[in-house]
Structure 1
Amino acid sequence: MAHGRNLLFILSDEHQARAMGCAGHSVVQTPHLDALAARGTRFTNAYTPSPICVPARASLATGRPVHETGAWDNAMPYTGSMPSWGHALQARGVRCESIGKLHYRNTDDATGFDRMHHPMMVAGGVGMVWASLRDEATRKIASEPMLGAQLGPGNSSYTDYDAEVTRRACDWLDAAGPEPWCLYVGLVAPHFPLVVPQPFYDLYPHDTLPPPKAHPADGYVRHPWVAKQNAFMDSEAHFESEANRQIALASYYGLCSWLDHNVGQILTALDRAGLTENTTVIYSSDHGDNAGARGLWGKSNFYEESVAIPLIMAGPNVARGTCDTAVDLLDVTATLTDHFGAEPVGHGKPLRNIIVDPEPDRPVLSQYHAAGAVSGAFMLRQGRFKLICYMGFEDELFDLVADPEELTNLATDPAYDAVRARLHAQLEAMCDTEAANAQAFAHQAALIAHHGGREAALALGAPGATPPPPSPERGP
């Protein structure tokens, strides 16, 4: 099967898998992603290896799960010490460059790109060290809203950054040249702050927005682990009114359309350069966003809104339609190396192979050891079922075919004991959960000590959204 000569990989940040027209969302407008999906394959059950930025991106770089990368949280970024897909492409002699957000340690690390254009890395080269304090007795509850003080229509440093990244990507494609290339483009929308240019905000009048799903005000009771995690940075509690909440939701959906707009500009530039017919395009995101479901915002749990990701591949000889096999970002890693005949890195499987040979019971793992987690948590998706294992807490088990909104926990139903036991065995075959949990806490304790203890750690890292890099056009 012939591949496109080139590969364009666009990765967004915090894009809920369901927040696309092609995924059937009731209000979100994403015409350019819909068009991309229409000429390729959309993976309907794609997941992140960890529902938080830095660990997910380290796993994407290496094709390895979090318990192998040791990138447990947002203060443990990828450094280039473990082989990446970029290293494999460089060894193959393929031109490999990045534009935009990477969320690695710094630009001095050899992470596998020939050039990094305007990259966003973790703040100060260290990231959110304060969030590595996970014990309830020593952690510090965030006093400011995670989403930022400003909500609604306007511009932010993030929308400015995306506009600049998009412009640079279009310019790069205009001058791409004849040799095979791989270009990674990292956009930050729809990651908070929830501020979006007015025309995109106006797409979502408040009276058109769907009602909040499973909100605590309506009687929903959060799982105890989730309640403790959310208490660390409780955005919902900072809303002044229901109108304020509606502004946040309209802004998130507006940012999804803003993202789509920028993807459209990049794909138009690809077409303008005459490269569409010989370029494979992959679009995905590092994780999702709860966007108000269960009274939660941001990511950091294993409900579909947070842990599922959009994943689309289109290009020469890519089948048109959908693929229901469970996949994750490790499979994207494998796809990037396979496309150029480079040496594989990590444990994933090329998406083309999965399209041709679907696996209805393929297991996918995700895990979380980061901000707000009082213990490690793990997710296994296999077939129609999803198991969520919280260390020291009761499980959750969902039948995603019968209950796609995850409203009925089957973990305490004796009729599903055999299913739960089978999924636990599969989970442990993929990851020793006790060992991973202990190792994460040990590494975080060592990190805190390295930085001088609790008080020093509390001062290290961005309070929420990582600041974008300064730009000659924008200034600091």
Structure 2
Amino acid sequence: MALTRKQFLASPSLAAAQPRKTSRPRNVLFLLSDQHRPSSVGCLGDPVAQTPNIDSLANTGTRFSQAYCSNPVCTPSRASILTGLYTHHHRTWSNATPWPFEIRTMAHHFSRSGYISGLIGKMHFVDAQTHGFDYRLDFNDWFQYLGPKTQLYADELGRRNSGSGLPIVDDLWSDFGDPWIGHRRVDNRQGLVHVGRASLIAERDHFESFVSRESIRFMKRFAGKHPFFLIASYLKPHDPFMPPETWARRFQADDMKLPATYGKVDLAKVPAEIRQRIENHGPSPELKDQAAARQRIAMYYANLAHLDECIGRVLTALRELGLEDDTIVVYSSDHGEMLGEHGLWQKFVFYEPSAGVPLIFRVPGLTHAGAVCSQPVSQVSLMATFLDLCGIPIPAGLDGPPLTPLLRDPRHVRPAAVYAQFALRTRNARAMIRDGDWKYCHYAGDTPELYNLRSDPQEMTNLAGDPAHRGRMDELRARLLAWHDPGRTTA
């Protein structure tokens, strides 16, 4: 018997073949970099940054202009991202601290909800645990891929470091020491961050190329079979500042300018440790030479440009696989980079270039193209946000609320302070509170800092000693210490 068109369209066989329409995207692609300062993005007007793919993501999604990491150093920050907890709750105190096994990460929750969870690249676990991920490739897999060419990376790194080094599990060397000592042939400067130069490693063999290639392989393998939660986690623009030669040639030291705040800090009004870092150019004394400093800046931007190219490859594959309309895409970094601001390098401080991070969401059907949310937010909210967007129950006890209301309406006002911590359980312990236009930084036994970011966005005028702002400082200090006192020896 012939079917009418209406009966044909309603038939079960055809219904099964129709494209699935859901109110929530199924997949999550989290693109995570290392040490990307929040202002070094082309679409924000940085004249040096070449980031067309990150720019495109920002132009098609929602960008948070005042996002912060929870701790301006790799391992504690990444632990907060994956657990939704601040440092004193997840207890991953430093880059040398293994993550507590019993604390559940967002990967556990995605896997239990039917997702295939993947981590490709750096996460700085400092141990061999999987922390809930079903599929994991890291530095050690890259070394297997490189084979004898690992020697080139050992030469460029010039130091033992579990975050960007050889290998990712420090314990492998605990008995007999670093096996590369005496075998590094180029930069044998143990413990120093390099000024930078063109890499001897072919572009296809760089860690970023490996991460993108394997992330694309992951998406091809599981697309249409399982909803996936994938973190593609890159090392760049973090050191070693040795980009592929093609990218290194784009950025010349003579074209770089030192930041406007370089050499302008009133050293009498900053904490002693920061003063010592500025005076000694720590932890990179070679950057005392301004020519070397400009070379470092050039190679940072070259690293960033190569990172952007590799991110673009993943985004292109996502589109070609037909997954773009069914995938939440997020870009962020674990912390920033001072890059000479205030005369400082790397991270470790609460100034905006270090504690601030880029944060971009593209959520099909929810975010608005080119939208900007100026509400201060913390990456400690990422776990709750990812789970909420995918309809997965948010566990009790998380420190960060979901950002979903801000994604729906970037003008939404959420009166909540943002916090950050560093070096807990050491004599240099410190913490920060950001509330509205004000930032207060508390140091155990050292000079505090108070800045009005509206009138002083470069944080050059410490108002902590100004009697006119004593009330504001006392209020913020009381709130911060009530939340958590960084001088406490126990969590």
What band does the TM-score fall into relative to the shorter chain? Answer: 0.7 to 0.9
* Match 1:415 to one of 468, 472, 476: 468
Aligned to 1:452: none
Aligned to 1:61: 82
Structure 1 segment 194-209 matched on structure 2, within 5 A: 194-209=241-256
Kindly indicate whether residue 370 of structure 2 is the aligned counterpart of residue 325 of structure 1: no
Normalised by the size of structure 2, how large is the TM-score? 0.80
Aligned to 2:8: none
Aligned to 1:389: 442
- The 8 Å contact of residues 37 and 358 in structure 2, kept in 1 or not, is answered as yes
Kindly indicate whether residue 454 of structure 2 is the aligned counterpart of residue 404 of structure 1: no
Offset at 1:235?
Answer: 4.0
Structure 1 segment 180-191 matched on structure 2, within 5 A: 180-191=227-238
Aligned to 1:449: none
Aligned to 2:135: 115
Q: Specify whether residues 219 and 415 from structure 1 end up closer, same or farther in structure 2 by C-alpha distance, changes over 3 A only.
A: closer
Q: Specify whether residues 193 and 233 from structure 1 end up closer, same or farther in structure 2 by C-alpha distance, changes over 3 A only.
A: farther
Aligned to 1:364: 418
Aligned to 1:125: 169
Aligned to 1:45: 66
- The 8 Å contact of residues 236 and 295 in structure 1, kept in 2 or not, is answered as no
Give the counterpart letter for 2:405 in structure 1: N
Structure 1 segment 20-419 matched on structure 2, within 5 A: 20-107=41-128, 109-118=129-138, 123=167, 125-126=169-170, 144=190, 146-148=192-194, 151-155=196-200, 160-178=206-224, 179-216=226-263, 220-221=266-267, 223-228=271-276, 234-239=282-287, 241-316=289-364, 317-320=366-369, 321-345=371-395, 346-356=398-408, 358-359=412-413, 361-369=415-423, 374-419=427-472
Offset at 1:304?
Answer: 0.7
Instruction: Report the Cα distance in structure 1 between the residues aligned to 2:168 and 2:217, rounded to whole angstroms.
Output: 29
Q: Secondary structure at the match of 2:487?
A: helix
Larger Rg: 2
1:243-275 deviations in whole A, cap 9, x for unaligned? 222111100011111111111111001011110
Aligned to 1:465: none
Q: Specify whether residues 243 and 422 from structure 1 end up closer, same or farther in structure 2 by C-alpha distance, changes over 3 A only.
A: same
Q: Secondary structure at the match of 1:277?
A: helix
1:1-55 deviations in whole A, cap 9, x for unaligned? 9332211001101111111012332321211000000010000011111000011
1:291-311 deviations in whole A, cap 9, x for unaligned? 111222111011111100010
Instruction: Report the Cα distance in structure 2 between the residues aligned to 1:325 and 1:257, rounded to whole angstroms.
Output: 28
Instruction: Report the Cα distance in structure 1 between the residues aligned to 2:122 and 2:277, rounded to whole angstroms.
Output: 26
Deviates more, 1:178-187 or 1:240-249: 240-249
Offset at 1:387?
Answer: 0.7
Offset at 1:61?
Answer: 1.7
Deviates more, 1:18-27 or 1:318-327: 18-27
Q: Specify whether residues 168 and 19 from structure 1 end up closer, same or farther in structure 2 by C-alpha distance, changes over 3 A only.
A: same
Runs of 4+ aligned residues of structure 1 deviating over 4 Å after TM superposition are 119-124, 126-130, 155-159, 228-233
Offset at 1:232?
Answer: 8.9
Instruction: Report the Cα distance in structure 2 between the residues aligned to 1:407 and 1:156, rounded to whole angstroms.
Output: 40
CA RMSD of aligned residues (A): 2.8
Percent of pairs identical after alignment?
A: 30
Question: Structure 1: which 5+ residue stretches go unaligned?
Answer: 131-142, 441-476
1:342-372 deviations in whole A, cap 9, x for unaligned? 232422122222334633642111010179x
Give the counterpart letter for 1:353 in structure 2: P
Instruction: Report the Cα distance in structure 1 between the residues aligned to 2:400 and 2:171, rounded to whole angstroms.
Output: 27
Offset at 1:429?
Answer: 3.2
- The 8 Å contact of residues 16 and 287 in structure 1, kept in 2 or not, is answered as yes
- The 8 Å contact of residues 51 and 305 in structure 2, kept in 1 or not, is answered as yes
Deviates more, 1:154-163 or 1:42-51: 154-163
Aligned to 2:146: none
Aligned to 2:480: 427
Kindly indicate whether residue 487 of structure 2 is the aligned counterpart of residue 439 of structure 1: no
Instruction: Report the Cα distance in structure 2 between the residues aligned to 1:399 and 1:206, rounded to whole angstroms.
Output: 33
Give the counterpart letter for 1:112 in structure 2: G
1:168-195 deviations in whole A, cap 9, x for unaligned? 1122223332131111111000001111
Instruction: Report the Cα distance in structure 2 between the residues aligned to 1:246 and 1:84, rounded to whole angstroms.
Output: 40
Q: Secondary structure at the match of 1:196?
A: coil
Give the counterpart letter for 1:82 in structure 2: I
- The 8 Å contact of residues 276 and 315 in structure 1, kept in 2 or not, is answered as no
